[in-house]
Structure 1
Amino acid sequence: MKTDLNAYGLTERIAQLAATEPTLTLARVTEQHRETYQVISATGPVAAELGGKFRHATKVATDLPTVGDWVLTTVSPDDQLAVIQQVLPRQSVLERAAVGKTGAGQLIAANVDTIFICMSLNANFNGHRLERYLTMAWDSGAVPVVVLTKADLCADVAEKLAALADVTLGVDVITCSATTGAGVADLRAYVTGNQTVSFIGSSGVGKSTLINSLLGRETLVTREIRTDDKGRHTTTARELLRLPSGGVVIDTPGMRELQVQGGDLTKAFADITALVGQCKFRNCTHQTEPGCAVQAAIAAGDLNAERLASYRKLELEMSYSDMSARERENAKIQRFFGGKKEMKQARNHMQQIRRR
């Protein structure tokens, strides 16, 4: 039985790219498990592995396939194994810094049209974390949508929406509850035709439960958690699933730690970006300079000082992300002391104080 790849998000652009390699078979990565993959082609699902030539030519981890990628493969005569020979150019790619490996990238999903950033309205609620997710999402090339879950457990939804007004500037916000079904229809409106959506967020915010609601069946394992949102991961591997109403969804494991690999601060912090352009000096640091529009907005109550602090923190984090360990260390020394000479002077001064 043939598989209609249009139902798995095939676009005209991908079809044209695949047509240039008529001897290879087009497929989409639906699952990733360490060294192995599952792909779907016109002949159906099949296990897949990396071709030796492709593996040898790969220079960085982000060149390897991830869930959502369109790949060109060769298939064994018995259709039991596909060998990935090439990853086609990505329309979008969701990436974060690998935990414990600052500067290294870790792919989350590729070729996504809409990213649902899930955050629950009880103990998981955190505006600064949402700023990080939005920064990462805007940089991916996909469109972010904020999904506030567990509305049935929140007594002050309007107050929390107001608290996120600056953070979610220019972004659609959906308030929903998998328990009552509220908001699920709003989610479904984004997944039509050959659209691909992905759910991201911390562990225990209800991503798998919402995806089950879209699927209309209990496909993903869910687990009851305490009301403080402290729960174990229910999703351990990335997985692409076809929805009965059309479109596909990518489920991802919950993220305990979110290190930003790259990001678009101009969109995630559009309010601050607009103010920066109004500062008197082009190299304004937004601290004590005269004519600083950012500080003027804070003084007038139009901008929250905490939001500026988040902006600076992410800006600094991203400036470090492409540096080597030695470059990051030198940058921190320069930032805190002004240079290595000044750092040694400060160290000697502290030693003299201790001897007294």
Structure 2
Amino acid sequence: MEKNNYPHLTVFGWNDSWQSAWGESAHFGNKGFEPARIVAQYSKQYRVVTEDGEKIAAVSGKYEFEAGGRSDFPAVGDWVIAQPLEGEQRAVIHALLPRFSAMTRKEAGNVVDEQVIAANIDTIFITNALNQDFNLRKIERYLIAVWESGARPVILLTKADLCDDPDRKIASVQDSAPGVPVHAVSAHMNKGKEELAPYLLPGHTIAVAGSSGVGKSTLLNWLADDSLQQVQGIRESDARGRHTTTHRELFVLPTGAVMIDTPGMRELQLWDAADGWETTFADIAELASQCRFHNCSHESEAGCAVKEALDSGTLDSRRYANYKKTEKELAHLARKEQANSRKAEKKAGKHSGAKSKRGSHERNRHSLIDLE
């Protein structure tokens, strides 16, 4: 087993597995290179923690040139190969250590690219408020992304003090997320913290995800017993929170757990999450396997187990509608990705052909010169 040469980084999640990955890195042994963890991200600049403390960092020119897309760049939670600059509180990032998990989404707008929300996470708290903004379909959507990430999902229903009947909503979440732990908490009433203790282990990395205003920053401050993040109130008109966190940042809690706070998202656009989708809706897939016909469309065929479940009410029609909606969305995204790949290949082929033609013209020109 590799000796841990970076004991200070253990506080931020460094362990034997990362020590081994560092030893296998192509950059291992380079003078002046050392591992660091991304603790905050600001556009193209990062704050990293090294064995000697925190530094401001940016990727090297070579790194930026060779990056294929946005997801190739570091994200909060990533372990990177850094080169601290002598006499300065700055560092240069040369490479990533391989991620074991990453929560991603489609980049906002019409750009077909993957954005990493947080990396190397053990558990993701999917937060949803128990007020007028409570939404089962949003929870299902986040579950798709979390199951796809490789991290463990846990659902936190925040602001339990604002709900008259939390047990009913908890039961509805449990029906929509079978097997996933569900906890109702209230920072205002200091309720439910003890239920979260099994997740808040030393070196364990947790990301907090959810829509704007569900109480993610309040949750962080409550668990930290400190005002680490600014918080804002909710709008009285629709009970929706105002945007608080503006960047992703990693904090170490008193328990030794590492928590990543993320900006709220009005809508989580899914990215390449077929496996996560199947896991989230495994109950519907199980019903579909019981249909008389293997290619059943679940509309009018005889012996359709899905339709029978919908008619009897054992399958919620809104859950099934979300299942179909996200299926179409992922299929549409896959087609766009394929189309973009074909365009890129065609462009690369034209570029290669142009270079070949230029080379041929050059050879012909030199041949004519030689003949003269």
What band does the TM-score fall into relative to the shorter chain? 0.7 to 0.9
2:19: which partner in 1? 15
1:193-232 to structure 2, matched below 5 A, reads 193-227=202-236, 228-232=238-242
Aligned with 2:10 (options 6, 13, 23): 6
The CA distance in 1 between the partners of 2:167 and 2:255, in whole Å, is 31
CA deviation vs aligned residue, 1:273-302 (integer Å, no higher than 9, x gap): 211222222222222222221112112221
**Structure 1 residues 102, 275: CA separation in 2 closer, same or farther (over 3 Å shift)?**
farther
Letter in 1 for 2:279: K
Q: Which amino acid aligns with 2:320?
A: L
Confirm or deny that 1:260 pairs with 2:270. Answer: yes
- Distance in 1 of aligned mates of 2:241 and 2:311: 41
Pick from 53, 56, 62 the counterpart of residue 53 of structure 1: 62
SS in 1 for 2:188: coil
Query: Taking structure 1 as reference, are residues 326 and 17 closer, same or farther at Cα in structure 2, changes over 3 Å only?
Result: closer
1:287 to 292, 295, 299: 299
Which is further off, 293-302 or 243-252? 293-302
Q: What SS does the aligned partner of 2:18 have?
A: helix
Aligned to 1:164, the other structure's residue is in SS state helix
Contact 2:170 2:184 (8 Å CA) reproduced: no
Work out the CA distance in 2 between the residues paired with 1:44 and 1:233. Answer: 30
Aligned to 1:82: 91
Q: Structure 1 pair 76/327, CA: closer, same or farther in 2 (3 Å)? A: closer
**CA–CA distance in 2 between the matches of 1:211 and 1:276?**
41
Among candidates 302, 311, 314, match of residue 299 of structure 1: 311
- Residue 242 of structure 1 corresponds to 252
Runs (4 or more) in structure 1 with deviation over 3 Å come to 325-328
1:1-356 correspondence to structure 2 within 5 Å = 4-20=8-24, 21-23=28-30, 24-101=33-110, 103-227=112-236, 228-263=238-273, 264-324=276-336
> Which SS does the other structure have where 1:124 is aligned?
coil
5+ residue gaps, structure 2: 1-5, 341-372
Residues 30, 240 of structure 1: 8 Å contact kept: yes
Aligned-partner Cα distance in 1 for 2:56–2:308 = 59
| Count of residue pairs the alignment pairs up | 327
Q: Deviations over 1:66-120 (max 9, x none)?
A: 0000000111111421111101111100011111135321110000000001100
Whose Rg is larger? Answer: 2
* C-alpha distance in 2 between matches for 1:42 and 1:142: 26
The structure with the greater share of residues assigned to helix is 2
Q: Which runs of 5+ in 1 are unaligned?
A: 329-356
Percentage of pairs with the same residue? 41
Any conservation in 2 of the 1:30–1:239 contact (CA below 8 Å)? Answer: yes
Q: Aligned-pair distance for 1:39? A: 0.5
Shift of 1:326: 9.8
- Pair 1:16–1:327, CA change in 2 (3 A): closer
| Cα distance in 1, alignment partners of residues 255 and 337 from structure 2 | 48
1:203-228: CA deviation from partner (whole Å, max 9, x where unpaired): 11111111011111111111122343
- Residue pair 1:131, 1:167 contacting (<8 A) in 2 also: yes
Alpha-carbon distance in structure 1 between the residues aligned to 2:272 and 2:176: 18
Mean alpha-carbon deviation: is it higher for 237-246 or for 226-235?
A: 226-235
In 2, the alpha carbon distance for the partners of 1:304 and 1:250 equals 33
Structure with the bigger RCO (C-alpha within 8 Å, sep 6+) is 1
Q: TM-score, normalised by structure 1?
A: 0.88
SS at 2:174's partner residue?
Answer: coil
For 1:340, the equivalent position in structure 2 comes to: none
CA distance in 1 between partners of 2:65 and 2:174 (Å): 48
Matched with 1:336 is none
Distance in 1 between the 2:257 and 2:140 partners? 27
